[in-house]
Amino acid sequence: MQLYQSNQIKIYNSLTGKKEDFKPINEGHVGMYVCGPTVYSNVHLGNVRTFMSFDMVFRYLKHLGYKVRYVRNITDAGHLENDADVGEDKITKKARLEQIEPMEVVQRYTVDFHNILNTLNFLPPSIEPTATGHIIEQIELISKIIDNGFGYEVNGSVYFDVHKFNESNEYGKLSKRKLEDLIHNTRTLDGQSDKRNPQDFALWKKAEPQHIMRWPSPWSDGFPGWHLECTAMSTKYLGDQFDIHGGGMDLKFPHHECEIAQNEAAKGISPVNYWMHANMLELNGSRMSKSTGNTVNPNELLSGDNTFFSKAFAPGVIRFFNAQSSYRSVLDLTDDGLLASEKGFYRLMDGMNLLKGISASGTSTFDVSAWKQKCYDAMNDDFNSPILIAHLFEAVKYINQIKEEKASISVEDLALLKTTMHAFVFDVLGLENVIEVNSGSDKLAGAVDVLIKLRQEARANKDFAMSDKIRDELANCGIQLKDGKDGTTFSVN
């Protein structure tokens, strides 16, 4: 018997606006697609928040025993600067500005993305396909859409006919927009565009002579529209209809709306059963966004090298901070918030370390089975990680009471408490154990103490570059320094 058989998950489905019982298409199997990054710049913490929320979903589904095929793509072509299909391709533009090959841009930022996700203890997806690796599939889709009467070619570019599609289908059903309102709210075309209507979107763009990323097609040498790659890659690996599609809230329109339209136009099938949208990360009250420059990169937060925060934060603290709010809530990244999360994270880790050493005696003074069920109930309720964390702290309180001999636990309950805590803290939330190393207890601690003293000397001499260097280099080795009122301590990740 697998855990999923006794745990009915409810998922908030953006398509219906309701929490629904999750029933996968094939029992015991889940197909999940999440829109990945456009690799033209370093990922910021906003991007990371969305991916982290889906990492937690992936982890919980796996924990329940589902066989999950998790596909998260890399957008390495076709994402224009502007949603109205104008402007330069983001990757091409970066390549032009830096005078390097577009594929060098792609390589650099894909490596950066993977490094950050590794540092933050993400599980790799099952498949990580690229847009450039699926040009043939995208061309096939365009041909089908044209054959079915929903696409038209003008001057080597191909557009999706939203008005024609809306006669037989419902364009806007995911984002709850009506075509009439979209018409009302968009400016008319200025005569420069090849589109029949401003609401139409590009399936294929003819490349200008200077455009480097180009592929041959029946219509022109060009490149695919951004929305198309996700339709091609999700259905190639998960089937024409699959269970879960995720992404950030900002992708609902137009990106995901267009994905639905493309699939219905090509195959007559609505592709996704449960649409999940993660809410936005804000930085001091406004949305974190590359375009406004209101961003912090994960490395800046990990090293403390930024103008927003008072200190460096460990990877586990970032994960814990994220899990303390529901993936559907807006989350504001502030120094106070991170400092509070840091305290909570170390309290939880202290509890985990204590749990290793406690012994059972007599009967339990806490209902461990009922508590365990509450942990599952929280996650079954649309992955409600903040409620889960509240329950984990209930257990930490109990662990502390046992340690202080104010409470007791039976042999069976101790085993249950250990496996359940381990499962939720490490497997589901993806936190990594931080072993608090006692000062002077071994050679590593001795060596780090020497470095802490050198850093204190550097600070006393106002050599802040050197003191930061010592802290950052140690952080790179997985050793986090913590400055507190009683001096500097350290932890090893």
Residue 49 binding partner per list ligand AMP, Zn ion, none, with a CB distance cut-off of 5 to 8 Å that depends on partner kind: ligand AMP
Name the DSSP letter for residue 396: H
Give the nearer residue to ligand AMP in terms of CB position, either 211 or 287.
287
Q: Which of 20, 104, 170, 250 binds ligand AMP (CB under 6 A)?
A: 250
Amino acid identity, residue 228? L
CB of 251 to ligand AMP, least distance (A): 5
Q: Which of 93, 144, 287, 374 binds ligand AMP (CB under 6 A)?
A: 287
CB of 217 to ligand AMP, least distance (A): 24
Residue 47 binding partner per list ligand AMP, Zn ion, none, with a CB distance cut-off of 5 to 8 Å that depends on partner kind: ligand AMP
Sheet containing 222-224: order of strands: 151-154, 157-160, 201-206, 222-224
Write out the binding residues for ligand AMP, residues 104-123 only, by CB under 6 A: none
Residue nearest to ligand AMP (CB): 248
- Applying CB under 5 A, the span of 18-26, 35-43, 387-395, 429-437 interacting with Zn ion comes to 35-43
Give the nearer residue to ligand AMP in terms of CB position, either 166 or 289.
289
Q: Does residue 254 have a cis peptide bond before it, meaning omega lies within 30 degrees of 0?
A: yes
Give the nearer residue to ligand AMP in terms of CB position, either 250 or 449.
250
- Asked whether position 129 contacts ligand AMP by CB under 6 A, the answer is no
Give the nearer residue to ligand AMP in terms of CB position, either 182 or 281.
281
Alpha-carbon span 203 to 488, nearest angstrom: 57
CB of 136 to ligand AMP, least distance (A): 23
To which H or E segment does residue 475 belong?
helix 464-476
Residue 38 binding partner per list Zn ion, ligand AMP, none, with a CB distance cut-off of 5 to 8 Å that depends on partner kind: ligand AMP
Residue 46 binding partner per list Zn ion, ligand AMP, none, with a CB distance cut-off of 5 to 8 Å that depends on partner kind: ligand AMP
Token digits of residue 170 = 């419902």
Q: Which of 251, 302, 338, 375 binds ligand AMP (CB under 6 A)?
A: 251
CB of 248 to ligand AMP, least distance (A): 2
Residue 288 binding partner per list ligand AMP, Zn ion, none, with a CB distance cut-off of 5 to 8 Å that depends on partner kind: ligand AMP
- Applying CB under 5 A, the span of 29-37, 147-155, 405-413, 446-454 interacting with Zn ion comes to 29-37
Alpha-carbon span 73 to 236, nearest angstrom: 12
Alpha-carbon span 157 to 195, nearest angstrom: 9
- Asked whether position 35 contacts Zn ion by CB under 5 A, the answer is yes
Sheet containing 331-333: order of strands: 286-287, 281-283, 331-333
Q: Residue 132, class by beta-carbon neighbours within 10 Å (0-12 exposed, 13-18 middle, 19+ buried)?
A: buried
Write out the binding residues for ligand AMP, residues 29-68 only, by CB under 6 A: 35, 37-38, 46-47, 49-50
Name the DSSP letter for residue 404: T
Token digits of residue 257 = 């709306």
What is the DSSP annotation of 279-301?
Answer: PPEEETTEE-BTTTTB---HHHH
Give the nearer residue to ligand AMP in terms of CB position, either 47 or 380.
47
Q: Where are the alpha helices (DSSP H) in 123-252?
A: 135-147, 162-168, 179-185, 226-238
CB of 35 to Zn ion, least distance (A): 3
Alpha-carbon span 136 to 163, nearest angstrom: 27
Give the nearer residue to ligand AMP in terms of CB position, either 37 or 225.
37
Q: Which of 230, 281, 301, 318 binds Zn ion (CB under 5 A)?
A: 230
Cβ-count burial 352-368 (b if 16+ within 10 Å, e if not): beebeebebeeebebeb
Residue 230 binding partner per list ligand AMP, Zn ion, none, with a CB distance cut-off of 5 to 8 Å that depends on partner kind: Zn ion
Give the nearer residue to ligand AMP in terms of CB position, either 327 or 345.
327
**Which residues lie closer than 8 Å to 71 by C-beta, 6 or more apart?**
31, 32, 33, 34, 125, 126, 127, 128, 129, 233, 234, 237, 238
CB of 255 to Zn ion, least distance (A): 5
CB of 113 to ligand AMP, least distance (A): 9
Handedness of CA 130, 133, 134, 139 (dihedral sign): positive
Give the nearer residue to ligand AMP in terms of CB position, either 38 or 263.
38
Q: What are phi and psi of 357, to 5 degrees?
A: -100, -5
Alpha-carbon span 88 to 96, nearest angstrom: 10
List contacts with ligand AMP (CB under 6 A).
35, 37-38, 46-47, 49-50, 247-248, 250-251, 280-281, 287-289
The footprint of Zn ion (CB under 5 A) covers 35, 230
